Amino acid sequence: MRAPIIRSKSELQNLTRGWRQAGEVIGVVPTMGALHDGHLSLVAAAKEGSDRVIVTIFVNPKQFNDPKDLENYPRTENEDARKLERFEIDAIYVPGPDQIYPEGFDTTVSVSGVADELEGEKRPGHFDGVATVVTKLFTQTMAEKAFFGEKDYQQLQVVTQLSRDLDLGVEVVGCPTIREEDGLAMSSRNLLLSDRARVRAPRLNEAMERAAERIVAGEPVETVLAEARAEILAAEFNDVEYLELRSIGTLKPVTDGKLPARLLAAAPLAGVRLIDNIAVG
């Protein structure tokens, strides 16, 4: 059954108000579309944990610091709606920009601490854009639960902090990263990889897994990460923007090798910026 596609905030809230009044728990899966199995695993978790499920599709201009990246972002609404059919969700919310940022909109939600480094440093303004749109999507959908992938591990921490700090009343549920058979983390951006780049892309995760094993075995973190960086560059990645061991949740640098921790990386390959993260220990 195809879920209704709702494009206006007022129409959405007519529905969600009724659900809340009936005591139903609304779960939201915020997405920017181009849905893959990673997103669909979030929808499955939302179905399991909520009475009503809304998937939102909105390519949020405020979180793109590169206009080319925004322009190239894949948009596949019909295909997305088709992929969602088997989940029998309650609504697909596809707001136009005016429903999220109407004329005169002048507020930015900004999280610090956990948002400051890694992606926050490499993509200035990105997490302000994410925090602002997620706040709007939470309030517009009236959700009590929201489902995010660990693939964007830092985003998951930022949204958790945001919901807690602003008393938004939304429980943020993190779900495991879904990977292709060769280990590449699923991402809408993978659609932009050329055939040649697609073959090389899993080398990022391979290098990270090897580094994680060596760190767990007690080898010095700095040496291991320097060698992993060299491996990634040897696989024709253009750069390694960061490859860092950080503490779980707070994402503070791990200087004493204390585990468990999280290994996070960003590396562009043939013009497509890939990010990944794995648990260590």
Tell me how many residues contact ligand PAF (CB under 6 A). 10
For ligand PAF, what does the binding mask look like between residues 159 and 198, x meaning CB under 6 A? ----------------------------------------
In angstroms, what is the minimal distance from the CB of 233 to ligand PAF? 27
Binding flag, residue 60, ligand PAF (CB under 6 A): yes
Binding flag, residue 31, ligand PAF (CB under 6 A): yes
Which one among 40, 46, 130, 240 touches ligand PAF, defined by CB under 6 A? 130
Helix (H) or strand (E) holding 48: helix 37-49
Which one among 134, 156, 175, 240 touches ligand PAF, defined by CB under 6 A? 134
Q: Would you tell me how many other CB atoms lie within 10 Å of the CB of residue 124? A: 10
Where would I find the H helices in 67-201? 67-72, 77-84, 97-100, 119-122, 126-141, 153-165, 195-200
Give the span between the Cα atoms of 195 and 216, in whole angstroms: 34
Report the interhelical angle of 221-234 vs 202-216 (nearest 10°): 160
Whether residue 39 lies in the annotated active site: yes
Three-state secondary structure call for residue 102: coil
Three-state secondary structure call for residue 100: helix
Which one among 3, 12, 26, 32 touches ligand PAF, defined by CB under 6 A? 32
According to DSSP, residue 59 is labeled: -
9, 39, 52, 214: the catalytic one is: 39
Three-state secondary structure call for residue 97: helix
Binding flag, residue 152, ligand PAF (CB under 6 A): yes
Q: Which stretch binds ligand PAF (CB under 6 A): 29-37, 206-214, 218-226, 270-278?
A: 29-37
Q: Are 161 and 91 in contact (CB under 8 A)?
A: no
At residue 164, φ and ψ (nearest 5 deg) are: -70, -50
Q: Which stretch binds ligand PAF (CB under 6 A): 40-48, 129-137, 241-249, 258-266?
A: 129-137
b vs e for 98-123, b when ≥16 Cβ sit within 10 Å of the residue's Cβ? ebbbeeeeeeebebeebbebbbbeeb
Q: Which stretch binds ligand PAF (CB under 6 A): 20-28, 130-138, 196-204, 239-247?
A: 130-138
Binding flag, residue 30, ligand PAF (CB under 6 A): yes
> Contact residues for ligand PAF (CB under 6 A)?
30-32, 60, 63, 130, 133-134, 152, 155
The set of catalytic residues is 39
